[in-house]
Amino acid sequence: MASTSRTFLAFQHDGKLQQIETAVISVRPFSGLEESNRQVFKSGTDEDHVVVTDKTIFHPQGGGQPSDIGTMMGKSGLTFTVTSVRMDLVCDGQVMHLGRFERGDAVRTFSDGEIVVQEIDIDQRLLYSRLHTAGHVLGASVRHLVKDEVKDFAELKASHFPGAAACEFQGLIDGKWKDAIQKKVDESIAARLPVTVEWWDENDFRTRRLDYLIPDSSLVAPGEKFRMVNIGGLDVYPCGGTHVETTDLCGHTTVKKITRKQGQSKVSYSID
């Protein structure tokens, strides 16, 4: 069983980090994982290992955002290629990095406590950050336009995956809103609105009359505050993902279509 030490999510505190040093907590072969953890890695094989570190620059898949990819390199030069990242379902708060060690005559691995350098694929990170911020801009644009026009309207969830990006809502949003949504999105992107991270406790939500946004307290460690992403002048969301610094960095964002099914609506989008 791996250590129960939580992984510090360095990327949530400094979004500009591309490389960090961190200590290895554990290394396990993929076949040695608990069944529930094997299931979250659809691409895992017996040739893979899972590395857990005391802090990480890698965003684990979740919140509609794909995981980062990249490398870890030990002081000896041993390289571990990270292909997928997930939160551990057994050890609360740990981040599992799936990948493979370079091969020689035999597979070597990192030692517990060894210092390694993590480095993310910055191009992939930027793409996911642009998509994620654009998704928030889209969601806020839809809400501002139709919240009083659509019966039982509510924001539900979003996907920020390339080729499958969309925001989902409770309520039936007519296709006639597409042009207005596009116009609002264009205005918000062009305005270069600042995207900042804030940390709130439950009282911060209540003083702003945003009680309905208070997340499940089990999502954060005891004593920690909730991470909020504030898109200046537009909206604020509880969010653990990565973002660009200003909305114009999303690039041109296209509202592709609005689909409706069983009382819910999906607004899909893409970025150029």
Report pLDDT digits (tens) over 53-91: 999 999 999 999 999 999 999 988 999 999 999 999 999
Q: What is the pLDDT of residue 224?
A: 87
1 has a pLDDT exceeding 80: no
Domain range for 90: 8-120
Position with higher pLDDT, 4 vs 101: 101
CATH number at residue 111: 2.40.30.130
Indicate the residue type of 141. Answer: S
Closest CA to 22 of 48, 68, 50, 57: 57
Kindly state whether residues 34 and 77 are assigned to the same domain.
yes
Decide if 233 contacts 192 (C-beta within 8 A).
no
Q: Which of 71, 105, 120 is the last residue of a domain?
A: 120
Q: How many domains are contained in the chain?
A: 2
Share of the chain above pLDDT 90, in %: 87
Distance CA 187, CA 120 (A): 32
Decide if 8 contacts 56 (C-beta within 8 A).
yes
Q: Is residue 3 part of a domain?
A: no
Sign of CA dihedral 87, 90, 92, 98: negative
Q: What is the pLDDT of residue 172?
A: 97
Distance CA 259, CA 272 (A): 22
What's 90's DSSP letter? S
Q: Is residue 67 part of a domain?
A: yes
φ/ψ bin of 70: left (φ > 0), alpha (ψ from -120 to 50), beta (otherwise): left
From first CA to last CA, the distance across the chain in angstroms is: 45
Q: What is the pLDDT of residue 103?
A: 78
Decide if 270 contacts 254 (C-beta within 8 A).
yes
Q: 178-190 and 122-146 are packed helices; what angle lies between their axes, rounded to 10 degrees?
A: 130
Which whole-number Å values give the CA distances from 107 to 41, 81, 102, in the listed order?
A: 21, 13, 7
Q: Is residue 2 part of a domain?
A: no
